[in-house]
């Protein structure tokens, strides 16, 4: 997230990452407030919805969680499209699932990947920058120079058990990450 430096100037939030998975999945998500007052995310894998005859993320009302976030003007549930892929977060030194939700972010990613100068996203890093808040948030995704993933990181990824389809279906963390240990705050 955007921060403020010692002189009170805004500093954009940035994250450099490498796409590691050869595949990505897409679906729809909705944030809601549970009975304990905590924010939670409900996800639906697009392929599962299509198999059930549900097009364009038009989730039936009886399948929505209570207390969903809604659009300010229409009051309708704020169901958003996402694209998920496994990335290596360079600053954190860990593997994560990156959910690209804002349309602009997904479009920048797709444009880079379809550009012959960049190609498949596993051969270069992206620098994701986020500035602003709420409706004034601006996301920028910039490709970085090509280079080979270090052998140690590739070996760690090859040993990783992660199920993107389970993530996009809203499955519990242990069904998504296999035997990975949860990050703890010290």
Kindly tell me if the per-residue pLDDT of 180 is higher than 70: no
* CA contacts within 13 A on the Cβ side of 57: 16
Kindly tell me if the per-residue pLDDT of 12 is higher than 80: no
Q: How far apart are CA 138 and CA 129, in angstroms?
A: 8
Helices (H), 3-150: 46-51, 103-114
**Phi, psi at 2, each rounded to 5°:** -60, 140
The pLDDT score that the predictor gives to residue 181 is 63
Instruction: Tell me the average pLDDT across 2-22.
Output: 76
Kindly tell me if the per-residue pLDDT of 185 is higher than 70: no
Kindly tell me if the per-residue pLDDT of 36 is higher than 80: yes
CB 17 within 8 A of CB 122: no
Mean pLDDT, all residues of the chain? 88
pLDDT in tens, 90-128: 989 999 999 998 888 899 999 999 999 999 999 999 999
The pLDDT score that the predictor gives to residue 77 is 95
Give the CA distances from residue 81 to residues 28, 39, 119, 141, 156, in Å, rounded to whole numbers and listed in that order.
4, 18, 23, 18, 30
Taking the complete model, does pTM exceed 0.85, yes or no?
Answer: no
């Amino acid at each position: 997230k955007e921060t403020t430096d010692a002189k009170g100037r805004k500093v954009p939030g940035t994250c450099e990452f490498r796409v590691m998975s050869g595949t990505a999945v897409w679906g729809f998500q909705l944030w809601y407030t549970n009975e304990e007052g905590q924010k939670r995310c409900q996800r639906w894998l697009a392929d599962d919805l299509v198999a059930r005859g549900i097009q364009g993320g038009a989730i039936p009302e009886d399948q929505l969680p209570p207390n969903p976030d809604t659009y300010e003007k229409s009051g309708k549930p704020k169901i958003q499209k996402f694209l998920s892929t496994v990335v290596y977060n360079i600053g954190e030194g860990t593997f994560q699932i990156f959910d690209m939700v804002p349309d602009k972010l997904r479009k920048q990613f797709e444009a880079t990947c379809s550009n012959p100068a960049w190609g498949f996203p596993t051969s270069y890093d992206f620098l994701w920058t986020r500035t602003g808040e709420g409706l004034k948030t601006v996301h920028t995704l910039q490709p970085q120079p090509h280079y080979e993933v270090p052998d140690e990181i590739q070996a760690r990824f090859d040993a990783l058990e992660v199920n993107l389809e389970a993530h996009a279906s809203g499955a519990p963390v242990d069904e998504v990450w296999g035997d990975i240990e949860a990050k703890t705050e010290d």
